[in-house]
Amino acid sequence: MDYFKNISYLVSHVFLMLFIYLFVTHRYSKRKTIGICFFSFLILTITDCLKLNLFPESGLCYVIVTILQIFVTQFTGVFISQTRDGRALFMGLTSSNYVIAGSIISAILHIYTGSMAFSILGGAAVHFAILLFLYFRIRNIWLECYEGESIKVWWQLCLIPVFFYCGFSFLVIFPNSIYDYPPNSLGVCMFMITMFVSYVVVFRYVENEANRIGIYWKNVLFETYIKGLENQYYLIEQSEKNLKILRHDMRHYSNMIDSLLDQEEYEEIKKVTAYLNKVTDENKVIKYCENIVMHSILSQMMDKAASLDVQVILDVKIPKEIKVSDYELGAVVGNLLENALIYVKDYKEKEKRYVNVKVHCTSEHILIQMENECEEDVTFDLSTGLPRSGKGRRHGLGMQSVSAFSDKIGGNIGCYCENGIFHVIVFAKF
């Protein structure tokens, strides 16, 4: 029995599960997540006994077991992840690369010192140092990117850890191990340094891309918010002007009504009062909700709907103070409503140019629901369940923003077509 390899692999699996546990947002409770990781650790350890102890000379066994272990490792990261998409797979593959770096250092120490205890302790120290450094310097940045916008290139980015892992495997394990060619140690170390530098570049890219998308939507939101305030200011100014004129002319209308009463011209009096009611109604400022930000966004979107000749049926209950960011909520409602308006604006039948909007925000929950006619087939993304834009890579960011908001508040988002009606529902219970 090769005690060094057994113990070295055991230590690597411990740190591998720690990496996955710490750098993936959890779908399940803490106890259940730890249980899943421990079960995966047991599978990895038992399969190690097969290839290292029971069938150490079998190349076929080594290949099959290694493939099984790779599947178990990556499945664990994706399974416990809250998102279960390319981000979770990228982090699982990255964890494998960070762990293999510690294992290689342990093997190099064993080659040049011959001390099993020193090599295992040295490898464990490298594992721990990498984990500690990443935990305090990278983890928060990574989780912010992980919980933020869903960048479309995650699946392509997964190729980076895959090729690094294959490179390490061919340099250190197959077809010849590092024990067969110890001088390769320097080249392997340089390859490890290259990997760490590459990951720094990748994380910078991910952070910058997330910031770019966030800034873009903040600019869109503030532009809509400012336009809404400008419209409200114009309407209030216009209403005050008209009402001043009405108050000034009220004495004349009063005299006119008195004169008509003396003449018993009651029908004419009704026409005068109807005109006065019409003027006051036209100058009434609509208040969609108590929240000033949401009111401004809705005001702007309602103006856009009127310009597109689309009917919007509103059911909005949003108090002045809400438990989520009113700017983020405004961005979500604005994105969904704008998408719906653009979708139905070209329908020839007027009865199909409508959008049902329901936004209820209370201290217990938040509900956003929109419905509109849908004549075309909608393609849904298999990984996210959201509609996939057919207009190119730069489109579809609005739905990604909605998905990120739902993830942030711990909610659920659902999109589906039923009987020619497209539905979008976002719900979260506080």
pLDDT in tens, 143-202: 766 655 445 567 778 888 888 888 888 888 777 778 888 888 888 888 888 888 887 787
Name the least confident of 35-44, 59-68, 266-275, 354-363: 266-275
| Whole-angstrom distance, CA of residue 78 vs CA of residue 156 | 16
How confident is the model at residue 72, as a pLDDT? 93
State the pLDDT at residue 43.
94
pLDDT tens, 266-304? 788 787 788 767 766 655 557 788 887 788 788 878 888
Q: Please name which of 166, 207, 167 lies closest in space to residue 188, comparing C-alpha atoms.
A: 167
- What one-character DSSP code corresponds to residue 40? H
Q: What pLDDT does 39 receive? A: 95
Does the pTM surpass 0.75? The reply is no
Beta-sheet pairing, 354-361 with 365-373: antiparallel
* Helices (H), ranges, 114-151: 116-137, 139-147
Tokens of 212: 């770019």
What letter represents residue 238's amino acid?
Q
Bond into 175 cis (ω within 30): yes
Please, which residues bridge with residue 425 across strands?
369, 414
Please report, rounded to a whole number, the percentage of residues in the chain having pLDDT higher than 70. 80
Contact, 290 vs 280, CB < 8 A?
no
Contacts (Cβ under 8 Å, ≥6 apart) of 24: 77, 80, 81, 82, 88, 91, 92, 146
Cα–chain-centroid distance for residue 255? Answer: 65
CA 141-144-335 angle, 5° bins: 145
Fold of the domain spanning 287-430? Heat Shock Protein 90 (3.30.565)
Is the pLDDT reported for residue 225 higher than 90?
Answer: no
Question: In whole angstroms, what is the distance from residue 290 CA to residue 285 CA?
Answer: 13
Rounded Cα–Cα distance for residues 109 and 111 (Å)? 5
Per-residue pLDDT reduced to its tens digit, 360-396: 998 889 999 999 998 777 777 655 667 765 554 444 5
Cα separation, 289 vs 295, in Å, equals 6
Give Cβ neighbours of residue 238 (< 8 Å, ≥ 6 apart): 283
Averaged pLDDT for residues 87-114:
87
Highest mean pLDDT among 134-148, 257-271, 403-417: 403-417
* DSSP code of residue 415: E
Q: Computed over its alpha carbons, how large is the radius of gyration of the chain?
A: 32
Question: Which tokens hold the place of 137?
Answer: 């310097």
Local structure of 129: helix, strand or coil:
helix
Which tokens go with 225?
Answer: 């918010």
CB distance 65 to 362 below 8 Å: no
- Helix (H) / strand (E) element for 365: namely strand 365-373
